[in-house]
A and B are shown apart, each in its own frame.
Chain A
Amino acid sequence: MTTSPMRVDSPTGSTPSGRGPVRQTRRLPRWAAAASFAAAIVVALLLGQLRDTHIALLALGAVALGTVLLYSLSRAVEGPRRATDRLTTCLVYSAFGLAMVPLVSLIVEVVRRGAPRLDGEFFSWSLLGVVGEGGGAYHAIMGTLVITGLTTLIAVPIGLMTAIYLVEYGTGRLKRTITFLVDVMTGIPSIVAGLFAYALFALFLGPGVRLGIAGAVALAVLMIPVVVRSAEEVLKLVPNELREAAYALGVPKWRTIVKVVIPTAMAGLATGVTLAIARVIGETAPLLVTVGIANATNFDPFDGRMATLPVYAYYQLTQPGVPPEFAIDRAWTAALVLILIVMGLNVMARLISRFFAPTTGR
């Protein structure tokens, strides 16, 4: 919690004695902050013994009481300026703690309930013919990989080229229009993207169509604006001097972009793409309407329903069958696997940006 700021003006500080007068300021001891909050916790616990109160309420009360205690102590001993500093520190730390509560509790809960089924069977079995115990999500993991891979194949070229147009070529009204449309696309609800892709494919293949490729198109609609935005920012960072250096060597503009601008921005582009993949891999709603769910493994996105991890988790939870607990366990494990994949992608993005970065190599 609050650590005491630099104590240059304290008598025990580094100021050598005998060199002019040492300014005396009264400071609270280092352990004052810890003591205030310990006291507050004790009080809260005692109150909790007297009356039956929820643990969250007690924690909240302890934090508030500790803050007030420390503030009034500090104000009495150290003066209003330091007291305000301590109060602000307490508030900032409390806000941080509050923000961490949902995140930590989510991860703890998913790990606690998903870990028991995180076994070999989960990664090697589908749900074909499985009733009750056992079974896995091999088909859903494969489906997610196939569909996300296709999405990347569709969205990255379109998004990258749009970004190149916006940064290198676009001027005037067309550029502003495209930028505006990309902004609008960023805000499209994912179910709308799903319905769009469904309607598009139903137009050609009749109603009730369920295809992996339709899901990929829906996800691409969501992914393109993310790719455009991140690629645009990264391309803007490439110094104009490098483009001019290439032009001055008699290199045409398109070749300058391909051979100088993109390689220089490679790290950022790869990072942006990886994060965009992480953004769409957990989408449920669009896949629910375009791809549906299957119990068997299907690698062919052009042929019928496929399972995907988010949709798998959704169905295992909402239609668990009898008895329900095995399916619900599988749903938690699917959620855990999804979190692990997204986390892996984020780690990968960091590694990519480290390895691709232009070396300074002094």
Chain B
Amino acid sequence: MAKRIDVSDLNIYYGSFLAVQDVTVSIEPRSVTALIGPSGCGKSTFLRSINRMHEVLPGARVEGKVIMDGQDLYGPGVDPVDVRRQIGMVFQRPNPFPTMSIYDNVAAGLRLNNKKISKSDLDGLVERSLRGANLWTEVKDRLGRPASGLSGGQQQRLCIARAIAVEPDVLLMDEPASALDPISTLAIEDLMTELKERFTIVIVTHNMQQAARVSEQTGFFNIAGAGQPGRLIEFNPTEKIFSNPDQKATEDYISGRFG
């Protein structure tokens, strides 16, 4: 299931604007990798380029290699739709489909792709996914109700259930808890620790305590100034980043001495 990802010399563009420059990094399977850094430094852009969501925007393109278990995701003949089936994503703001019930939201990945699956298998999958997202006990009596009736934290866990229902190899999370209260945040963080047994997880976060709590590896992105491309400054085990970072800039950012 979980796969490792090797990124080498990745340059990410918005039209002619170079947004992220020269990222080379290895993401370990069955672990949580956190990406931290100031706003606008390209963390989310980098994350979105891993599952080829970046190119959805007009004019956006990528140079370099992203290799998942030997396969270059940007190689010729690779369908971005297939890549996204293997690499799931959870967004900053919970975005369940408003026209669908809780059940249909979890089943959406299969339903929308017209996968033929029996009703009992689908029931099992929905229950497993909701249990996997720690949401089953809260919603099991109202699976047919609209998803928009859930609280923000529940909606975000529903989105996680929806993402893991298609059984991807990798799960990308773009600030998954930034719109949530501390209790829901804790629920999501606990969930990540469980999910990393099965998936490779990459999370973007502004919350350094969160990165320290959940991740094994941490990458620090920074930007030299407005209009400059973002760069990966340091990538190290989380304990090292937060106790004894290699780079002065990392230490300054983590300790809050940052302009």
CB<8 Å pairs between A and B, sample of 9: A244-B53, A245-B162, A248-B51, A248-B89, A249-B109, A250-B86, A250-B109, A255-B114, A360-B98
Which listed residue (A241, A246, A264, A362) contacts B112, Cβ 8 A?
A246
Q: Is A259 part of the binding interface, using a Cβ–Cβ cutoff of 8 Å?
A: yes
How many residue-residue contacts, CB under 8 A, span A and B? Answer: 85
Q: A249-B84, A252-B81, A255-B113 are in contact. Are A244 and B58 (CB under 8 A)?
A: no
Structural contact, A245 and B91, CB atoms closer than 8 A: yes
Which listed residue (B51, B83, B91, B148) contacts A241, Cβ 8 A?
B91
Q: Is B97 part of the binding interface, using a Cβ–Cβ cutoff of 8 Å?
A: yes
Structural contact, B84 and A359, CB atoms closer than 8 A: no
Complex: A248 Cα to B90 Cα, angstroms: 8
Structural contact, A242 and B112, CB atoms closer than 8 A: no
Complex: A361 Cα to B142 Cα, angstroms: 11
Q: What is the distance, in angstroms, from A193's C-beta to the closest C-beta of chain B?
A: 35
Q: A250-B86, A358-B99, A362-B149 are in contact. List 16 more A-B contacts (CB 8 A).
A: A244-B91, A245-B95, A245-B96, A246-B108, A248-B53, A248-B88, A248-B91, A249-B88, A249-B109, A249-B163, A250-B166, A251-B112, A260-B97, A260-B112, A359-B146, A360-B146
Q: Is A18 part of the binding interface, using a Cβ–Cβ cutoff of 8 Å?
A: no
Q: What is the distance, in angstroms, from B92's C-beta to the closest C-beta of chain A?
A: 9
Contacts of A243 in B (CB 8 A): 56
Complex: A129 Cα to B191 Cα, angstroms: 81
Q: Is B159 part of the binding interface, using a Cβ–Cβ cutoff of 8 Å?
A: yes
Binary contact track B133-145/A, C-beta < 8 Å → 1, others 0: 0000000000001
Q: Is A295 part of the binding interface, using a Cβ–Cβ cutoff of 8 Å?
A: no
Q: What is the distance, in angstroms, from A241's C-beta to the closest C-beta of chain B?
A: 4
Q: Is A346 part of the binding interface, using a Cβ–Cβ cutoff of 8 Å?
A: no
Q: Is B85 part of the binding interface, using a Cβ–Cβ cutoff of 8 Å?
A: yes
Chain A at the B interface: mostly helix, strand, loop or mixed? helix
Contacts of B89 in A (CB 8 A): 248
Q: Is B197 part of the binding interface, using a Cβ–Cβ cutoff of 8 Å?
A: no
Which listed residue (B53, B81, B95, B99) contacts A251, Cβ 8 A?
B81
Contacts of B95 in A (CB 8 A): 239, 241-242, 244-245
Q: A241-B95, A249-B163, A250-B85 are in contact. Are A358 and B109 (CB under 8 A)?
A: no
Interface residue tally for chain A (C-beta within 8 Å): 26
Q: What is the distance, in angstroms, from A172's C-beta to the closest C-beta of chain B?
A: 10
Complex: A360 Cα to B99 Cα, angstroms: 9
Structural contact, A358 and B166, CB atoms closer than 8 A: no
Complex: A360 Cα to B149 Cα, angstroms: 6
Q: Is A24 part of the binding interface, using a Cβ–Cβ cutoff of 8 Å?
A: no
Complex: A259 Cα to B97 Cα, angstroms: 10
Q: What is the distance, in angstroms, from A265's C-beta to the closest C-beta of chain B?
A: 9
Structural contact, B99 and A263, CB atoms closer than 8 A: yes
Contacts of B149 in A (CB 8 A): 360-362
Residue ranges of A at the interface with B (Cβ–Cβ < 8 Å): 171, 239, 241-252, 255-256, 259-260, 263-264, 266, 358-362
Structural contact, B146 and A358, CB atoms closer than 8 A: yes
Q: A249-B163, A252-B81, A264-B98 are in contact. Are A244 and B108 (CB under 8 A)?
A: no
Q: Is B82 part of the binding interface, using a Cβ–Cβ cutoff of 8 Å?
A: yes
Contacts of B91 in A (CB 8 A): 241, 244-245, 248
Binary contact track B34-53/A, C-beta < 8 Å → 1, others 0: 00000000000000000101
Contacts of A250 in B (CB 8 A): 81-86, 109, 113, 166
Complex: A256 Cα to B159 Cα, angstroms: 17
Complex: A248 Cα to B91 Cα, angstroms: 9
Interface centre among A250, A255, A266, A361 (most CB of B within 10 A): A250
Complex: A239 Cα to B99 Cα, angstroms: 13
> CB within 8 Å of A: which of B64-121?
81-86, 88-89, 91, 93, 95-99, 108-109, 111-114
Q: What is the distance, in angstroms, from A238's C-beta to the closest C-beta of chain B?
A: 10
Contacts of B86 in A (CB 8 A): 250
Complex: A263 Cα to B95 Cα, angstroms: 15
Q: What is the distance, in angstroms, from A325's C-beta to the closest C-beta of chain B?
A: 55
Contacts of A241 in B (CB 8 A): 91, 93, 95
Complex: A245 Cα to B174 Cα, angstroms: 12
